């Protein structure tokens, strides 16, 4: 149920210069999802009546993604005045005049924070009657974080940004997580007084805490025991560290749900991946984006699947597959490359050094090794011989090859599209199929073999081959 007394502001305006990237920091991905999308997912779970996202750097591309992920959010464009204080000031000004509830502020670069933690913060805020309640955490290395300063009795006194902290304050290890719950009336009363007299010439939202405290408002900083929940990302090293932690949690979740992961240290699983019970994930495997693994399947080792569906009890080893479907009990690899549009039916096989693209291989059909199958439909229970190539491109357009059911093609065939091979047909070794093959027919295109006796002695006189041939003749 929507909470009419709750508004959420997502701060997504920063440039993220420490990422050293042409892409906005919050669009860098974590477990297959942009950083800001993690935060928007948390905001959605809070069921707030109002969700506002503040953008500035690369505002068009950021706004497009935000609205795609959360269509009901209101986009607020920050002006040239920098700082989180200015961002919140602009967002609050867009709330309805009669809104009198609480305002949650989330940062788009703090992706692991979950809704349960925020809801707990809201409960604490309401129970204590605070004007401001925030999350803090203790870090072994608090460098870069704003320090939470407490009095001798442990009560909140101030937040001091790292750049503005004294040497004594820099020794503090409790850091402001940038997650706040404000009473909207208290927040409105201090926003206009926030200045930019600091080393960065920015309007800090943390200055709102000082204003609220000076006005007698009650403030509480609530530490979380799991500091990863509030780990911010400012550079690629931090992105990597948070990615490793999230990946470990994702893997642990699958293990608890009945999936065997042989080597978590070399396995990467995106957040949207689903895996059935009794599936087994072998070392060196990456399961990315919306990949789905059914129960009993064995994936790996050394396999990357992107947006790929794998059926029950299938085996996929040393394979790279994207936007593909692998049927139940099918076998793929080793060293197979499944490009988008590949569909392998139940009990089918795509074997060693086989590349497929935009092709359907029917139930029980096999492409065992050393082949390229592109823009092709293969029926059921057919066998494609080693070294077969579907020549699907004539230099201008792509054409399709159709192979019927129960077909047996010889080794080293070329099917020159467009062409159809009928049900039950055979093709001989080395055949180039340029015309349709009727059902039940044998297609061959091999010229009679011709042996030119004495060719080596005449054309390669004095070579090792000529000497070997002469010795054989003498024998």
**For the whole prediction, is pTM greater than 0.75?**
yes
Q: Report how far residue 264's alpha carbon sits from residue 281's, in angstroms, rounded to the nearest whole number.
A: 9
pLDDT tens for residues 97-128?
899 999 999 999 999 999 999 999 999 999 99
* pLDDT, average across residues 261-275: 98
Active-site residues, by number, are: 369
DSSP code for 295: T
pLDDT tens for residues 136-159?
999 988 988 899 999 999 999 999
Domains of the chain: 3-230 (3.90.550.10), 259-443 (2.160.10.10)
Q: Report how far residue 417's alpha carbon sits from residue 402's, in angstroms, rounded to the nearest whole number.
A: 9
Counting Cβ atoms within 10 Å, is residue 220 exposed (0-12), middle (13-18) or buried (19+)? middle
pLDDT tens for residues 44-92?
999 999 999 999 999 999 999 999 999 999 999 999 888 999 999 999 9
* pLDDT, average across residues 203-220: 92
* pLDDT, average across residues 424-432: 96
Residue 474 has a pLDDT of: 81
Residue 199 has a pLDDT of: 65
Helices (H), 176-216: 184-191, 206-214
- For residue 465, what pLDDT band results from cuts at 50, 70 and 90? very high
Please name which of 8, 15, 382 lies closest in space to residue 234, comparing C-alpha atoms: 15
At residue 305, the 3 state secondary structure works out as strand
pLDDT tens for residues 286-314?
999 999 999 999 999 999 999 999 999 99
Query: Radius of gyration (Cα) for the chain, nearest Å?
Result: 32
Q: Within the chain, how many helices (H) and strands (E) appear?
A: 10, 38
What the block records as the tokens of 466 is: 């000529």
pLDDT tens for residues 186-197?
999 999 888 876
- DSSP E strands in 89-216: the ranges are 102-107, 132-138, 147-150, 156-160, 174-183
pLDDT tens for residues 385-426?
999 999 999 889 999 999 999 999 999 999 999 999 999 999
The kind and range of the H/E element at 427 are strand 426-427
* Residue 317 main-chain phi, psi, to 5 deg: -125, 140
* pLDDT, average across residues 435-450: 92
Q: Report how far residue 54's alpha carbon sits from residue 289's, in angstroms, rounded to the nearest whole number.
A: 27
Residue 316 has a pLDDT of: 98
pLDDT tens for residues 345-390?
999 999 999 999 999 999 999 999 999 999 999 999 999 999 999 9
């Amino acid at each position: 149920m929507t909470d009419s007394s709750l508004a959420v502001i997502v701060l997504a305006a920063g440039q993220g210069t420490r990422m050293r990237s042409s892409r906005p920091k919050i669009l860098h991905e974590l477990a297959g999802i942009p950083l800001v999308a993690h935060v928007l997912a948390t905001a959605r779970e809070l069921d707030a009546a109002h969700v506002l996202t503040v953008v500035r750097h690369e505002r068009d591309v950021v706004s497009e993604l935000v609205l795609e992920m959360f269509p009901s959010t209101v986009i607020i464009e920050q002006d040239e005045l920098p700082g989180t204080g200015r961002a919140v000031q602009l967002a609050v000004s867009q709330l309805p005049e009669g809104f009198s509830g609480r305002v949650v502020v989330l940062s788009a670069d703090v992706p692991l924070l979950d809704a349960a933690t925020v809801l707990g913060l809201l409960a604490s805020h309401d129970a204590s009657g605070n004007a401001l309640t925030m999350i803090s955490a203790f870090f072994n290395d608090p460098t870069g974080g704003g320090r939470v300063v407490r009095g001798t009795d442990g009560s909140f006194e101030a937040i001091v940004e790292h750049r503005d902290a004294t040497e004594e304050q820099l020794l503090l290890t409790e850091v402001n997580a940038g997650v706040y719950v404000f009473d909207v009336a208290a927040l409105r009363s201090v926003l206009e007084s926030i200045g930019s007299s600091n080393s960065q010439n920015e309007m800090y939202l943390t200055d709102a805490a000082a204003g609220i405290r000076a006005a007698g408002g009650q403030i509480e900083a609530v530490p979380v025991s799991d500091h990863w929940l509030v780990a911010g990302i400012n550079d690629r090293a931090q992105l990597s560290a948070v990615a490793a932690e999230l990946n470990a949690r994702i893997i642990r979740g699958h293990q608890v749900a009945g999936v065997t992961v042989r080597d978590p240290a070399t396995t990467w699983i995106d957040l949207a991946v689903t895996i059935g019970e009794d599936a087994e994930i072998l070392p060196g495997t990456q399961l990315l984006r919306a990949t789905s693994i059914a129960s009993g399947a064995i994936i790996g080792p050394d396999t990357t699947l992107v947006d790929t569906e794998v059926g029950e009890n299938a085996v996929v080893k040393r394979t790279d597959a994207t936007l593909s479907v692998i049927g139940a009990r099918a076998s793929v690899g080793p060293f197979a490359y499944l490009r988008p549009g590949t569909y392998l039916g139940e009990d089918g096989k795509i074997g060693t050094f086989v590349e497929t693209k935009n092709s359907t291989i029917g139930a029980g059909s096999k492409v065992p090794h050393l082949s390229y199958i592109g823009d092709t439909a293969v029926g059921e229970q057919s066998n494609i011989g080693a070294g077969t190539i579907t020549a699907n491109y004539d230099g201008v357009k792509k054409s399709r090859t159709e192979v019927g059911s129960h077909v047996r093609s010889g080794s080293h065939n070329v099917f020159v599209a467009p062409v159809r091979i009928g049900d039950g047909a055979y093709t001989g070794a080395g055949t180039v199929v340029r015309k349709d093959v009727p059902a039940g027919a044998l297609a061959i295109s091999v010229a009679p073999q011709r042996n030119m006796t004495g060719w080596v002695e005449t054309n390669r006189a004095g070579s090792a081959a000529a000497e070997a041939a002469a010795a054989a003749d003498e024998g």
